[in-house]
Amino acid sequence: MNRRTLLQRACLLSALAVLPLHATLADDAATPSLIPLPAQLSLQRGSFAVDAGTPVVLASHDAATRQTAGYLIDLVARTRGLQLRIAGDDKAAHAIVLLRDPQAPVVQAEGYALDVTAQGIRLTARDDAGLFHGAITLAQLLAPDAKQGTVDVPTLSIRDWPRFAWRGLMLDSGRHFQSVAEVEKLIDQMAQLKLDVLHWHLTDDQGWRIEIKRYPELTRIGAWRTPPDAGKDGEPQRYGGFYTQDQIRAVVAYAAARHVTIVPEIDMPGHAQAAVASYPKIGVTGQRPQVSVDWGVNPWLYNVDDDTFTFIDNVLDEVMALFPSQYIHVGGDEAIKNQWKSSPAVQAKMRQLGITDEDALQGWFIGRIGQYLEKHHRKLIGWDEILEGDNVPTDAAVMSWRGIDGAIKASLLGHDVVMSPSPDLYFDHVQGDLPDEYAGRLGVESLKDVYAFQAVPDVLGPAQAKHVLGVQANVWTEHLPTMELVEHTTFPRLDALAEVAWSPVATNDWHRFLERLPAELGRQREQHVAVADSAFAVDIATDRNVALATGKATVTLSDQAGFGAIHYTLDSSEPTPASPLYRTPFNVTLPAIVRASSFATDGSALAMARTRTLDRAALLSLSGTELANCAGSDFRLRLQPTPDATSTQPVYAVNIFDNCQMFPATLMDGVTAIHVDAVRLVRNYALAGDAKLVVERPHDTLFGELVVHADSCDGAVLARMPLPDPAHGPSKFKLDAKLAAPSGVHSLCMAYATPVNGPLYGVGHVSLETGTP
């Protein structure tokens, strides 16, 4: 049977996985919902029933096998409500058997063999990691749907191993701090996706999160910051926290039990403000800054004298004692060299070393750290800026974040690389663009974008491609103060990346991934993971101007992924699979309320219902997140009301370079007034050389105005709305003005004319009013 015929038959059977080249498929089989997809899968007729009486037999009597069995039992209890038990008799029949076997049929590291017959289930592997990964696959087979209790597992044979050795996720605990329990919950979900590296970002300008006993000021001072507007509008008086060494040992052990390696990051020579705030002598100026409250690129660097390197070496000693990982991440990114350029001592050091520029000095700095790690039998890994200079150890690895160019350069130089480019795998970018999406950076990096990520660039030949260790997503937390926000931005995109990292590239199939995904989402929600539904949220669209002119609307329903059945209602009731099925655009007469949701083939909801009211007032009203940037800059953030807000809504779309948004082209006939729900936001952004890009508009009143222009930002002024005193007024306020709008279809430029050294402002909601002025 050739592959095309095989896949055709799989489609006819509503297969939920792409079958690899050598798979076989029985005529009445149903492919299980496995993520990531195994390298080889063969299905036969029949099944094996697993219930609470099915014994789990340990054919290997070592501690690692028992630990894996315990994890399997716990996971199945969480996702299926099925209470399995380890059998005392290793000869028990009709059992689940786990075996570490040096002769297991899969020879690849971390690989496993899983066989299900009518008589039982047998899982074998040559190493502990392989046995654990096989147990994860088995747990998915035992929780194929939302039901609880007994499950029929299809008879099958799986031979599986990973595509890449580095299958990673970076968690930024420097900007916002997560509890030990929250970090462990994330590790647990990583393990269930067969990811094996947690890159833990522990130090930055905004916080030092790891206890270093030799330098207690790092956590007494460096772990805490005083937020802007501290104590106002729910902002804490002090923000921060750190992990004790005992807590870190516990997290490392927790991860190791799930075959996840934690790679710590201690950032240098830049992103050092929290460290310098703790010990000014390790900085360049000798001055003590505050722990930063500003996101972005701050100027504080480590010094390059011997005492500073003694400090760094001592810190690394304690870090290496806590983390047994082969690699230690030293950052190396975004080191603005102004302080080095202005320091006579640093310039003298450069002359002594024969170094002619500051980029080369950074290379020398990183090279020295690499040599120290090498003496301790560790390897250096850093962001792609570490290649600036000629002193990087030959065995150092490079994490390519500024696109893929760093990976290409590094592999050509013989360095191993981890693909982690921005924006492709930067999970602080939002997953969708509907008005109710959570905080984060725009533009959108969708579930489909992540699944389509090409881990090995085409330009790399076979020799260079061997240097690609794997892939990693990064969760930067400037705008993600809570774990709910972290989980929302991570899942289900991490499911997509897990398949890129583990499964053979030939099995990549977007539509069949989507068919397998609902079961995985169900397993995650059963474990209380705050999974985003952005990919499946229904967009309820209509032509606003036609509706305003005619009193009738043609409604189009769609979702980002193009997957699932969309059902809708027009009576305000909750959509169900029994509600009308959307097939083509439909017409409604105003006023109307449209509610819609998408559903999987089993009838489970893929997304919560979205609602749109269609009447004249609603068509003349938009949330601020629906307004586009004004022309000239595409930078855009979705911000929470305060830097450390724990809410998920509201969020405000803001361009920190040009505080201006466009109300889209609208039929303005009869419009006489404008009402804006406005918000004052903290301008806490360190922009370094980009500060010159900030647009400042002249203002006529003391605190500035919101100015409304017709059609473009240099169009006729239609309204000016003075802003309240930021020192004494509330952070949320209303602005109202008469609007002498021209008739016909026009856009509105809504520009905040304010001092650039003052706060930012956002639009929560804007509405136009018709009637007598």
**Residues annotated as catalytic (active site), given as ranges:** 204, 271, 334
- How far is Cα 83 from Cα 76, in angstroms, rounded to an integer? 7
- How far is Cα 719 from Cα 739, in angstroms, rounded to an integer? 6
- How far is Cα 481 from Cα 437, in angstroms, rounded to an integer? 15
Q: Which of 442, 431, 539, 443 is nearest to 487 (CA)?
A: 431
- How far is Cα 637 from Cα 488, in angstroms, rounded to an integer? 16
- How far is Cα 566 from Cα 540, in angstroms, rounded to an integer? 11
Q: Are 331 and 368 in contact (CB under 8 A)?
A: no
DSSP letter, residue 556 = E
Measure Cα distances from 648 to 303, 437, 441, 445, 479 in Å: 40, 9, 14, 19, 11
Q: How many CB atoms lie within 10 A of CB 601?
A: 12
Residue linked to tokens 């008589």: 119
**Beta strand extents in 109-206 (DSSP E only):** 112-117, 120-125, 151-160, 166-172, 197-201, 203-204
Alpha-carbon 506 to chain mean position? 25
- How far is Cα 197 from Cα 260, in angstroms, rounded to an integer? 5
Given CA atoms 690, 692, 698, 701 in this order, what sign does their dihedral have? positive
Q: What is the DSSP string of 652-713?
A: EEE-SSS-EEEEEEEE-TTEEEEEEEEEEE---EE-GGGGGG------SSTT-EEEEEESST
- How far is Cα 533 from Cα 536, in angstroms, rounded to an integer? 6
Reading the block at residue 42, the tokens are 């063969």
